[in-house]
Amino acid sequence: MLNKNTYKPFLIVALFLCTSFVFSQSKKQQELEGRRQELRREIQQINSLLSKNKSQQKSQLTLIEDLNYKVSVRRNLIKITNQQANLLTREINENQNKISELRDELESLKDNYAKMIVTSYKSKSEQSRVMFLLSSTNFKQAYKRIKYINQYANYQKEQGESIKEKTVELQATNQALLKQKEDKQQLIDENKLAQIELEKELKEHEILMIAINKDVTKYAAQIRERQKEANRIDKEIERIIKEAIANSNKKAGKTATASKGFALTPEGKALAKDFASNKGKLDWPVKNGVVKLRYGRQPSPIVKTIMIQSNGVRIATESNAKVRAVFNGEIYSIIASKNGNPSVLIRHGNYFTAYSNLGKIYVKKGDKVTTKQEIGEVFTNPSNGQAVLSFSVFKDSKTENPATWIYKM
For every residue of 276-321, DSSP letters joined together read: HHTTTTBPPSSSSEEEEE-SEEEE-SSSTTSEEEESSEEEEE-TTP
Looking at residue 280, its pLDDT comes to: 97
**Which of 17-31, 188-202, 319-333 shows the lowest mean pLDDT across its residues?**
17-31
Between CA 267 and CA 349 the distance in angstroms is: 8
Looking at residue 98, its pLDDT comes to: 83
Considering 62-76, 126-140, 243-257, 338-352, the range whose residues carry the highest mean pLDDT is: 338-352
pLDDT tier at 156 (50, 70, 90 boundaries)?
Answer: low
Mean pLDDT score, 323-336: 97
Q: Please, are residues 333 and 240 in contact by the beta-carbon 8 Å criterion?
A: yes
Contacts 24+ apart (CB under 8 A), 37-41: 38/408, 39/73, 39/76, 39/77, 39/80, 40/77
Mean pLDDT score, 162-171: 78
List the domain boundaries for the chain.
Answer: 4-213, 220-404
Mean pLDDT score, 99-128: 69
Q: Report the DSSP pairing between strands 329-335 and 368-369.
A: antiparallel
Looking at residue 299, its pLDDT comes to: 92
Looking at residue 148, its pLDDT comes to: 67
Q: Which CATH architecture has domain 220-404?
A: Distorted Sandwich (2.70)
Stated as kind and residue range, the H or E segment containing 398 is strand 398-400
Between CA 212 and CA 302 the distance in angstroms is: 8
Q: Please, are residues 166 and 109 in contact by the beta-carbon 8 Å criterion?
A: yes
150: left (phi over 0), alpha (psi -120 to 50) or beta: alpha
**Which of 133-137, 348-352, 391-395 shows the lowest mean pLDDT across its residues?**
133-137
**Triad 249, 251, 254: Cα angle to 5°:** 40
Q: Could you give the 3-state DSSP secondary structure of residue 326?
A: coil
Q: Evaluate if residue 289 carries a pLDDT over 50.
A: yes
Looking at residue 339, its pLDDT comes to: 75
